[in-house]
Amino acid sequence: MGLCQERECRHNVDHKMKFRSKKGLLPFIELNGEEISDSSVIIKELGQRFGKDLDEHLDNNQRSISHAMISMIENHLHWVVMYWRTKHPDHIVKGYKMNLQHFLGSRVPSVFLNFFFKYSYGRKGSKKVKAHGIGVHKPEEIDEFGQNDLKVLSEMLGDKQFFFGDDPTNLDIVAFANLAQIYFVDKELKYSLQEFMVEKCQNLCGHVNRVKEKCFSDWDEICTNLELNSHLPKPPVEDKESKGKDEEKKAEKEGDTENEEKDKETENENEKDNMDKENKEKEKENK
């Protein structure tokens, strides 16, 4: 989504966690009826098909560094965050202020959805974390892994706007997608990795906000209205006053029509009564 926003590719977001790719993965996209899954594959395919490669200005050495950093983020830092999520599924709901009814596309009462989400997400997530290998370590060790990853990213970014200069690249998009999950956790909820990022890696906080402003100008609307397609044009809003006046005029016309019909009915009834009287009088005269 961030890549599409950055390169102004028209897109529509509609899943509500109901759909997954044939490989069982998220995210995935459907382009001209073809399903494409896995972030790296999606980015590559979109770049080739639309001729919009974010890394086109990078040299071979920079591309190699970008590949290594993306691998670290997706295969290590991501799982550090995933470990925290699976251990504290209730923190996800509170920390991200999730509306589970909207998130899951369900009308089931939130109380039941909360219970289901915590149980299901925690159980399934724990299996994935252990299968990855990071779940076998102690919590403090895993926390240190995450801090080390943040240090590496912070040192690479330095005082630059983005990792390779003044323009965002694929690395910036991937980094944002993962760092935002740390940085935007509600501050009232204590998250050690977020505290470390704010205190020791302030340039990463600035980076997250820069990417947000550049790629998600509608961020506040998305978070407030939970509208993932706020970038799409909305139908024109009708003026309530003019609409109300039109309805009043319509009602008046309908009322006038009804009155006219009633008057005609009354006239017809009167004429009928008069004719009946005349006929009766004629019958009397004939007798």
How far apart, in whole angstroms, are the C-alpha atoms of residue 210 and residue 187?
A: 20
pLDDT at 92: 78
CA distance 255 to 68: 76
Q: Which of 184, 223, 231, 3 is nearest to 102 (CA)?
A: 223
For 34, phi then psi, to 5°, come to: -100, 130
* pLDDT at site 108: 81
- The pLDDT assigned to 203 comes to 98
Rounded to whole angstroms, how far apart are CA atoms 218 and 87?
32
Rounded CA separation 95/123 (Å): 19
Question: CA–CA separation, 166 vs 269, rounded Å?
Answer: 87
Q: Which residue do the tokens 């919590």 mark?
A: 139
Token digits of residue 4: 């599409």
Q: DSSP for 101-129, please give it.
A: HHHHT--S-HHHHHHHHHHHHHHHHHHHH
For residue 238, name the pLDDT band (cuts at 50, 70, 90). low
Residues 6 or more apart whose CB falls under 8 angstroms from that of 164 comprise: 57, 58, 62, 66, 171
CA 270 to CA 267: how far, in whole Å? 5
Distance, in Å, from the CA atom of 78 to the CA atom of 125, rounded to the nearest integer, reads: 13
Distance between alpha carbon 82 and the CA centroid of its chain, in Å?
20
Q: How many residues in total does the chain contain?
A: 287
Answering whether pTM is above 0.85, one says no
Quick: pLDDT tens for 44-86. 788 888 888 889 999 999 999 999 999 999 999 999 999 998 8
According to the CATH classification, is domain 64-225 in 1.20.1050?
yes
What is the tens place of the pLDDT at every residue in 92-126? 777 777 777 766 777 788 777 777 777 777 788 88
Residue 223 pLDDT: 72
Tokens of 48: 């080739």
The CATH 1.20.1050 portion of the chain extends over: 64-225
Distance CA 110, CA 32 (A): 36
Band (pLDDT 50/70/90 cuts) for residue 222 is confident
pLDDT digits (tens, 9 = 90+) for 1-58: 444 444 455 555 555 555 566 776 667 788 877 888 877 788 878 888 888 888 999 9
Token pair of 16 as six digits: 């509500």
Average pLDDT (184-208) is 94
What percent of the chain stands above pLDDT 70? 68
